[in-house]
Amino acid sequence: MSDFWRRYRRNRGAVVGLVILALVFALAGLAPLLFPGSPWDMATAPFVPPGEEGMLLGSDSLGRDVAAGIAHGARISLMVGAVSTVAALSIGVTLGAFAGYLGGVADDAVMRFTEFFQTIPSFVFAILLVAIFTPTISSVVFAIAVVSWPPVARVVRAEFLSLRNREFVQAAEVLGKSRISIVLTDILPNALSPIVVLSSLMVASAILLESALSFLGLGDPNLMTWGFLIGAGRSVIRLAWWMSVFPGIAIFLTVLALNLVGEGLSDALNPRLARQRGGAA
Amino acid sequence: MAVSRRGFMATAATAPVLMRASEALAQGVAPRRGGTLQMMLTPEPPVLQIGVNQQGPTLAAAPKMFQGLLTFSSTLEPMPLLARSWTISPDGKEYVFNLQQGVKWHDGQPFTAEDVVFSIMKFHMELAPRARAIFQLIETCEARDPHTVRIVLKQPFQPFLLMFDATAAAMVPKHLFDGRDYRTAPAVQRPVGTGPFKFTEWQRGNFIRLDRNEEYWKPGQPYLDTIIYRIIPDSQSRRLAVESGQVLLSQASDIEPFDIPALRQRQNLEVNTNGWEYFSPLSWIELNHRVKPLDDARVRRAMSMAIDRNFIVNRLWFGVGKPATNPVASTTRFHDSSARLAAFNVAEANRILDQAGYPRNAQGVRFTLKHMALPYGEIWTRLSEYLRQAMRNVGIAFDMESTDAGSWARRVGNWEYETTINFVYQFGDPTLGVERTYVSTNIQRVTFTNTGGYANPQVDALFQRARASAAAAERQAAFSEVQKLLVEEVPQIWLMELAFPTIHDRRVRNVITTGLGVHTSFDDVFIAG
Would you call A135 and B381 a contact, using CB atoms and an 8 Å cutoff?
Answer: no
- Give dist(CA B206, CA B76) in Å, integer: 35
Would you call A38 and B392 a contact, using CB atoms and an 8 Å cutoff?
Answer: yes
Q: For A222, which of B261, B315, B399 is closest by C-beta distance?
A: B399
Would you call B262 and A239 a contact, using CB atoms and an 8 Å cutoff?
Answer: yes
**What is residue B253's predicted lDDT score, i.e. its pLDDT?**
85
Residue from A132, A223, A236, A243 to probe the interface with B (highest B Cβ count within 10 Å): A236
- Give dist(CA A210, CA A194) in Å, integer: 24
B403 conformational bin, left if phi > 0, alpha if psi -120 to 50, beta if neither: beta
- A19 min Cα distance to partner chain B (Å): 35
Q: Using an 8 Å Cβ cutoff, are A232 and A218 in contact?
A: no
The 8-class DSSP code of residue A187 comes to I
Task: Pick the residue from chain A with its C-alpha nearest to B376.
Answer: A217
SS3 for B494?
A: strand
B380 touches chain A (CB under 8 A): no
Average pLDDT over every residue of B222-249: 92
Residues from chain A that touch B372, judged by Cβ atoms under 8 A, are none
**What is residue B351's predicted lDDT score, i.e. its pLDDT?**
96
- Give dist(CA B53, CA B60) in Å, integer: 12
Residues from chain A that touch B316, judged by Cβ atoms under 8 A, are 61-62
Q: Using an 8 Å Cβ cutoff, are A274 and A10 in contact?
A: yes
B382 touches chain A (CB under 8 A): yes
Residues in chain B: 529
Task: Pick the residue from chain A with its C-alpha nearest to B262.
Answer: A239
Task: Pick the residue from chain B with its C-alpha nearest to A132.
Answer: B403
- B389 min Cα distance to partner chain A (Å): 6
- B295 min Cα distance to partner chain A (Å): 25
- Give dist(CA A225, CA A210) in Å, integer: 9
| A226-234 and A242-269 helices, crossing angle to 10° | 140
Average pLDDT over every residue of B266-282: 92
For chain A, list residues whose CB is within 8 angstroms of any CB belonging to chain B. 38, 40-42, 46, 61-63, 131, 134-135, 217-218, 221-222, 232, 235-236, 238-239
| Segment A26-29 long-range contacts (CB within 8 Å, at least 24 positions apart) | A27/A70, A27/A71, A27/A74, A28/A71, A28/A74, A28/A75, A28/A78
Residues from chain B that touch A138, judged by Cβ atoms under 8 A, are none
Of the two residues B74 and B14, the one the predictor is more confident about is B74
- What pTM was estimated for this model as a whole? 0.83
Segment holding B371, helix H or strand E: strand B367-372
pLDDT in tens, A38-66: 898 888 888 889 988 888 899 988 889 99
Please enumerate in sequence order all residues whose Cβ is within 8 A of that of A94, keeping only pairs 6 or more positions apart, or say none. none
**What is residue B28's predicted lDDT score, i.e. its pLDDT?**
57
Q: How many CB atoms lie within 10 A of CB B484?
A: 16
φ and ψ of B71, to 5 deg: -135, 175
- B252 min Cα distance to partner chain A (Å): 18
Q: What ipTM was estimated for this complex? A: 0.83
Rg of chain B over Cα atoms, rounded to whole angstroms, equals 24
Percent of chain A with pLDDT over 70: 96
Residue B365 confidence (pLDDT) above 90: yes
Average pLDDT over every residue of B239-247: 93
Instruction: Give the closest residue to B116 by CA, choosing from B86, B154, B74.
Output: B86
**What is residue A277's predicted lDDT score, i.e. its pLDDT?**
56
pLDDT in tens, A118-152: 999 999 999 999 989 888 999 999 999 999 999 99
- Give dist(CA B305, CA B349) in Å, integer: 6
Confidence of residue B161 (pLDDT cuts 50, 70, 90): very high
Residues from chain B that touch A239, judged by Cβ atoms under 8 A, are 258, 261-262
Please spell the DSSP secondary structure of B141-201, one letter per residue. Answer: EEEEETTEEEEEESS--GGGGGGGSHHHH----HHHHTTS-TTTSGGGTS---SSSEEEEE
- B361 min Cα distance to partner chain A (Å): 17
Confidence of residue B354 (pLDDT cuts 50, 70, 90): very high
Instruction: Give the closest residue to B63 by CA, choosing from B275, B360, B330.
Output: B275
**What is residue B5's predicted lDDT score, i.e. its pLDDT?**
40
Q: Which residues pair with B227 in a beta bridge?
A: B37, B210
- Give dist(CA B431, CA B501) in Å, integer: 27
Q: Maximum distance among all alpha carbons in chain A?
A: 74
- Give dist(CA A194, CA A174) in Å, integer: 28
pLDDT in tens, B398-453: 999 988 877 888 899 899 999 999 998 999 999 998 999 999 998 988 888 899 99
Average pLDDT, rounded, for chain B:
90
pLDDT in tens, B502-513: 999 999 999 999
Rounded to an integer, what is the distance from CA B190 to the centroid of its chain? 26
- Give dist(CA B61, CA B39) in Å, integer: 10
Segment holding B368, helix H or strand E: strand B367-372
Average pLDDT over every residue of B8-25: 43
Would you call B373 and A221 a contact, using CB atoms and an 8 Å cutoff?
Answer: yes
How many CA atoms lie less than 13 Å away from A57 in the CB half-sphere? 21
pLDDT in tens, A190-202: 888 889 989 999 9
Query: B104 to each of A32, B170, B294, how far by Cα in Å?
Result: 73, 15, 56
- Give dist(CA B454, CA B439) in Å, integer: 7
Task: Pick the residue from chain B with its C-alpha nearest to A221.
Answer: B400
Of the two residues A247 and B56, the one the predictor is more confident about is A247
Q: Using an 8 Å Cβ cutoff, are A139 and A129 in contact?
A: yes
- A40 min Cα distance to partner chain B (Å): 7
**What is residue A110's predicted lDDT score, i.e. its pLDDT?**
93
Please enumerate in sequence order all residues whose Cβ is within 8 A of that of B103, keeping only pairs 6 or more positions apart, or say none. B82, B110, B111, B194, B217
Residues from chain A that touch B385, judged by Cβ atoms under 8 A, are 40, 62
- Give dist(CA A169, CA A177) in Å, integer: 10
pLDDT in tens, B185-235: 999 999 999 999 999 999 999 999 999 999 999 999 999 999 999 999 888
Name the amino acid, one letter, at B228. Answer: I
> For strand B396-401 and strand B367-372, is the pairing parallel, antiparallel, or unpaired?
parallel
Would you call B262 and A232 a contact, using CB atoms and an 8 Å cutoff?
Answer: no
Confidence of residue A232 (pLDDT cuts 50, 70, 90): confident
**What is residue B13's predicted lDDT score, i.e. its pLDDT?**
40
**What is residue A233's predicted lDDT score, i.e. its pLDDT?**
87
> Which range (A236-245, A270-279, B35-44, B157-166) has the least confidence?
A270-279
pLDDT in tens, B469-518: 888 899 999 999 999 999 999 999 999 999 899 999 999 999 999 999 99
**What is residue B367's predicted lDDT score, i.e. its pLDDT?**
95
Would you call B381 and A42 a contact, using CB atoms and an 8 Å cutoff?
Answer: no
Would you call B402 and A235 a contact, using CB atoms and an 8 Å cutoff?
Answer: no
- Give dist(CA A218, CA A140) in Å, integer: 8
- Give dist(CA B41, CA B179) in Å, integer: 32
pLDDT in tens, B92-116: 899 999 999 999 999 999 999 999 9
- Give dist(CA A205, CA A220) in Å, integer: 18
Please spell the DSSP secondary structure of B383-436, one letter per residue. Answer: HHHHHHHHHHTTTEEEEEE---HHHHHHHHHTT--SEEEEEE--TTSHHHHTHH
Confidence of residue B27 (pLDDT cuts 50, 70, 90): low
Q: Using an 8 Å Cβ cutoff, are B207 and B246 in contact?
A: no
Residue B389 confidence (pLDDT) above 70: yes
